[in-house]
Structures are given as C-alpha cells and as structure tokens.
Amino acid sequence: DYYNMFTSIFTLTTMSVDRYIAVCHPVKALDFRTPRNAKIVNVCNWILSSAIGLPVMFMATTKHDRGSTDCALIFPHPSWYWDNLLKICVFIFAFIMPVLIITVCYGMMILRLKSVRMLSGSKEKDRNLRRITRMVLVVVAVFIVCWTPIHIYVIIKALINIPPSLFQTVTWHLCIALGYTNSCLNPVLYAL
C-alpha cells in the first residue's frame, strides 16, 4: 500500500509542478518540458517511492491465528519508536508536503493568470481563469478529502489503543479505498 500510495501522490504532485512551470514560466517550459525530462522525473518518482516502500516490504509479515491471516509490520527494537517514526514520515511526505506543494503551485498559477487577465481585459481569458480556478480548487479539495481520513485514522490509532472490531476493520478499509479513489478521480478531474 505504501508503494502505491507514494507513487500516486508523487505523480499528482509532479503534475502540479509541471502545470505551474507551463503556466508561470512558459519560456523555460519549452526547454524543461521535454519527453526525456518527463521520463527522468517519472523514474525519479518511482525510485523515491521504492526507497520509501522497500523497507516497509522487508518489514512486512503475515501472522496466522485461529484460522485467520493478518498482515503486519515487524519493526526493529524499540518497535514503538520505529512505528511512530514511520507514521510521522508518511504523514509529512504523503500528505503535508504534497498538499503544500500542490496548493502553492496552483495558487501561483491563479495569481499569474489573474495578472495576465488584467493586462489583456479579455472575456475569453476571464472564462479560462474561472475554469482553471475551479479545476484547481476541485483537485486540491478532492486530494484533501480523499487522503485526510486515512491520516486521521492512523494518528488516532497511534494515540489511542483501539481494540480490533468489525467497525475498526471496515473503517480502515474505507479509508484506504477513499485514498485510492483520488487516483481514480484524477483523470476525470483533469479532463474537465
């Protein structure tokens, strides 16, 4: 899950930076936004996701108890320290930083488009600005709505000992599904 989550979030964040460069620095974008550079950036996203995901894969194990199989992470000693460190790092690198980067990139794009609109006074540019602003707000809002529940769940679970129950399991799976729903919605949002 970590591997897929980070790859998806890093790709979405990279797309925000790419759009920022295209809109706010169109001359530099001609040199920077090449197929070769796009491949390099995508490979870097995968390498970074792998660097984060591989340790988790090595710590993963399955536990068999009374006819059920559970997946778990076995942390080095002291396990509470490494478990909390992982949760904090995931929260920062998979949520806080992407939200900040995406918000700043799209905020700068909107400011740039508004300044261009003021210079031209074009009604068509006004419509484009409204369309882009709406898309930006929707993309950021959907990202936050889809990924916030799982991070809140993980933080609450780290702070409070919640005994296993059907409700807890269903909540966990719904939070995971909601996070991945963001990846399903992105193509639709960017096509609008």
d(CA 33, CA 15): 11
Residue whose C-alpha is closest to residue 86's, from 97, 75, 99: 75
Between 4 and 173, where is the model more confident?
A: 173
Other beta carbons within 10 Å of 190: 12
- The count of structural domains within the chain is 1
Among 12-26, 36-50, 127-141, the least confident range? 127-141
- In whole angstroms, what is the distance from residue 86 CA to residue 72 CA? 14
Q: Is the confidence at residue 115, as pLDDT, over 70?
A: yes
User: What's the CA gap between 145 and 178, in Å, rounded?
Assistant: 8
Predicted pLDDT at 125: 66
* φ and ψ of 110, to 5 deg: -65, -45
pLDDT class for 158, splitting at 50, 70, 90? confident
Mean pLDDT computed over every residue of the chain: 85
pLDDT score of 104? 93
Q: Looking at residue 129, what is its pLDDT?
A: 65
Contacts 24+ apart (CB under 8 A), 157-161: 158/83, 158/84, 158/87
For position 174, which CATH number holds? 1.20.1070.10
For residues 48 and 54, what is the distance between their CA atoms, to the nearest angstrom?
Answer: 10
pLDDT at 12 over 70: yes
Q: Is it the case that residue 117 has pLDDT exceeding 70?
A: no
Domain coverage including residue 42: 2-191
Q: Is the pLDDT of residue 185 over 70?
A: yes
* pLDDT the model gives residue 143: 87
Q: What is the mean predicted confidence (pLDDT) over 56-85?
A: 86
Residue 152: per-residue pLDDT:
92
Q: Residue 80 and residue 11: Cα distance in Å, rounded?
A: 31
Residue 52 has pLDDT above 70, yes or no: yes
